[in-house]
Amino acid sequence: MTIAIEARGLGKQYLRGSLAHQRLRTLRDALSEWGSRAFRGRHADGSAGRVERFWALQDVSFSINEGEVVGIIGRNGSGKSTLLKIISQITAPSAGEVRLNGRTGTLLEIGTGFHQELTGRENIFLNGTILGMGRAEIARKFDEIVAFSGVEDFIDTAVKRYSSGMQMRLAFAVAAHLDPEILVIDEVLAVGDVEFQKKCLGKMHDLSQGGRTVLFVSHNMSAVDQLCGRVIWLDNGRLVEDSSDTYAVTSRYLFGRKEQRKTAEWRASIDEGMENEFFTLRWFRVRDEQGATIDTPIRNNETAVVEIGLSVRKPDPALTFGYALTNEAGVCVYWTSTEDAGYGHRPQITAGNIILTSVLPCGLLNQGVFRLDFMSAIRARQWLVHPNESRSSVLLRISGLAESQYLRNTWPGVIAPALRWNVEHPATTEAQNASV
């Protein structure tokens, strides 16, 4: 198999607070620095020492085969964008080297070079050329691009008259027709509405099926999970993990503990224990009906049981337990607790070891990764464990909705309930009634 991208010992050094520092650096500073260096001989250390240097990317090596679709994940500032900028030749590395085998196309932003005064037609040629297409190639794909964008009627109108949605569709249409051997994409999916993102994902899926090498930076873990056959995790400019087990890596990344393998289960013995004057939390997990911890994606209509293992020290009638469910966008989907049941139907919390269970709502959650944060309180008096500060969290991944053909794309909405639909036929019913 041919290697498409090979990085060896790649590093990039920046000056700390470089932008602020450098903007203020005027010609006079440079001249006076140069002058004083010339006069005082080799006193360069003094002036160089003022500037603090740091590595935005350090000693990153990997090699990617032709046709691989690789996701790059990491927190903000972890060096993802720097890596893409080096690979796409926008900025030079400070150390190491990259070998590229094939025509490279970069998509760090949608609509690079779009000019507001120009018409849609002119912008297609401008943007397409800048992205690396030839004039003949654009001319050949022109009708297709226009049709894909859906702005046919405005193609000879200045882009400044477009709505932002139209501009984005046009820009994406051009980008989607870019046809390089190696495609480098940064966070393009972060913009736009759900429909647009879905379109992007669909196109990305096509691209990845087409045998093209794709390097894809995203914060959208389910997109990475669905599209990429391999994932590279960067942290503080260093490569933390490089694995084809995307699910395991993205889960560990989301969970933020790379040393812990099981993210679907929290145990007091593994992590720091959680105890207070009322109880000790022994474990917190999501399991299936047979009692096995769920650590692979499930469909949203499979049975999953949230289980809380406790050792209660001081039973209190107002002692409540529950969990908060948050999706990967950080949106709280719901809170639930032992208080949900009406008075008299709540579970009896007794001293000693108890296990609380609650079945996850079936056919309700949308696709994605969810975090369950354990919570506990004394009703109406005090928080014992607030979900936002909970150190006991587990992850659950939903992949595939109930009875739906939309297996690959996320259905719009925070939840995706499978609801029952009925049909009535009033005319026939009336006719039947009349005949009776």
Binding site for other proteins (CB under 8 A): 14, 18, 22, 25-28, 30, 85-101, 104, 106, 108-109, 112-113, 115, 117-118, 122, 125-126, 129-132, 134-135, 158
Q: Name the minimum Å distance from CB 6 to other proteins.
A: 10
User: 31 or 359, CB closer to other proteins?
Assistant: 31
**111 φψ region: left (φ > 0), alpha (ψ -120 to 50), beta (else):** left
Identity of the residue, 96 or 400, whose beta carbon is nearer to other proteins in the bound complex = 96
Taking the complex as a whole, the smallest distance from the CB of residue 342 to other proteins amounts, in Å, to 58
130/351 with CB nearer other proteins: 130
CA 370 to chain centre: 12
The token pair that represents 41 in the structure block: 């001989």
Residue 204: CB atoms within 10 A of its CB come to 23
- Residues 104/181, Cβ–Cβ less than 8 Å: yes
Is the separation of the CB atoms in 189 and 197 below 8 Å?
A: yes
Residue among 416, 56, 397 nearest 224 (CA): 397
Q: Which is nearer to other proteins, 18 or 404 (CB)?
A: 18
Question: Minimum distance from CB of 62 to other proteins (Å)?
Answer: 14
Which amino acid makes up residue 298?
I
Q: Nearest approach, Cβ of 217 to other proteins (angstroms)?
A: 14
Provide the minimum distance between the beta carbon of 356 and other proteins in the complex, in angstroms, as a whole number: 52
* Calpha distance 268→274 (Å, rounded): 7
Closest CA to 81 of 165, 187, 8, 160: 187
Which residue, 135 or 261, has its beta carbon nearer to other proteins?
A: 135
Task: Tell me which DSSP letter residue 119 carries.
Answer: B
Please state, in angstroms and rounded to a whole number, the distance separating the CA atoms of residues 183 and 200.
Answer: 14
Residue 118 beta carbon to other proteins: minimum distance, rounded to whole angstroms: 6
CA distance 188 to 199: 12
Is the CB of 92 or the CB of 436 nearer to other proteins? 92
Identify the CA nearest to 144 among candidates 133, 158, 160.
133
Closer CB to other proteins, 25 or 257, in the complex: 25
With respect to other proteins, which residue has the nearer C-beta, 215 or 310? 215
Determine the Cα–Cα distance for residues 329 and 148; give it in Å rounded to an integer. Answer: 28
Read off the DSSP letter of residue 272. Answer: P
**CB 130 → other proteins: shortest distance, Å?**
6
Tell me the closest approach of the beta carbon of residue 164 to other proteins, in angstroms: 17
Nearer to other proteins by Cβ, of 25 and 43: the residue is 25
For residue 224, the minimal CB distance to other proteins (Å) is 22
Q: Give CA–CA dist 371/385, Å, rounded.
A: 16
Q: Which is nearer to other proteins, 26 or 433 (CB)?
A: 26
| Shortest Å distance, C-beta 46 to other proteins | 22
Q: Name the amino acid, one letter, at 394.
A: V
404 phi and psi angles, rounded to 5 deg = -115, 150
Give the CA dihedral 189, 191, 197, 203, nearest 10 degrees: -50
Residue 15 to residues 49, 54, 86, Cα–Cα distance (Å): 11, 6, 17
